[in-house]
A and B are shown apart, each in its own frame.
Chain A
Amino acid sequence: MDQNDSGTSAQGGIVLTPAQLRSRKARSIAIGCAVGALVIFFYALTIIKLGPHALDGGW
């Protein structure tokens, strides 16, 4: 896709510079890690709060 002076392509879409692409990838990885950490966090929290005998009383 060709990029003009204002940073948009001939089709009107946005074209990121190589530096912007690199930083976006780094941000995406960081967000992925944060979401992964939250999954572990909530899993551990659920186990702690419910405890291993959570279902002992039946449904």
Chain B
Amino acid sequence: MECVRIIPRLDIKGPNLVKGIHLEGLRVLGKPEEFARFYYENGADELMFQDVVASLFERNSLDDIIEKIASEIFIPLTVGGGLRSIEDINRVLRAGADKVAVNTAAIKRPEFISEAADKFGSSTIVVAIEAIKESSGKYLAYTDNGRDYTGVDVFEWAQKVVELGAGEIIITSVDREGTGEGFDIDLIKKISESVSVPVIAHGGAGNQEHILNLIKLAQPHSVSLASIFHYQYVKENRTNAASEHEGNVEFLKSNRSFHKFETINIAELKEYLSENAITCRL
């Protein structure tokens, strides 16, 4: 059986690792380098970094962080956030990324996907799809961390990005993201069944059962996880190492429990999945 990859996702704002709910309301959790190091040693199969403000303010401070991380962490690194041109992708790859994730620029101009795939190879290009469920039951793709309405149907878009040369798809349920209420299994199952490229599921994990159920029912190739790992790390390593110059650090200082999350570390999660007949790299 194929290995299911476990991919911690690190949302970056300026110098800090942040986490929000529904991709909004960002709270500062600490230094991304320290989380990345811990996840590498703890058995992450890959790391994903998302610059959560780059698309809004066209800022690209992530490069320095990636360059530092890539010199000491030897697993695949995917970087997304505000990548609008071939030159942007080139710059991130030179900083040490192995793959890039694009969303906004791809929806605005779908040919961007094929241009990037032609230049860097399909296996370098991940298309990020942020899905919000309408009251009608229809799923629409959003951009800029779930802020901007595009009117694009998620399933049609998924098919199209594969035709254009996307090597992987990361599908985020914005409705579930950061909530700990569980994945949107229907959404991920339908995407996973309809495309021929690996699908990374993201958004909603609150405990290990959610992850097991997702893998069994929706069969994504990989699972991207943030809160459930980040809050575990914060519990175990409670420091105030975050840069206080930027973002909301009150949450960290408040010492509040992350009550919706049965947090877990990567090694424990993989152990649990293996005991339940899911193949993982142990």
A pairs with B: no
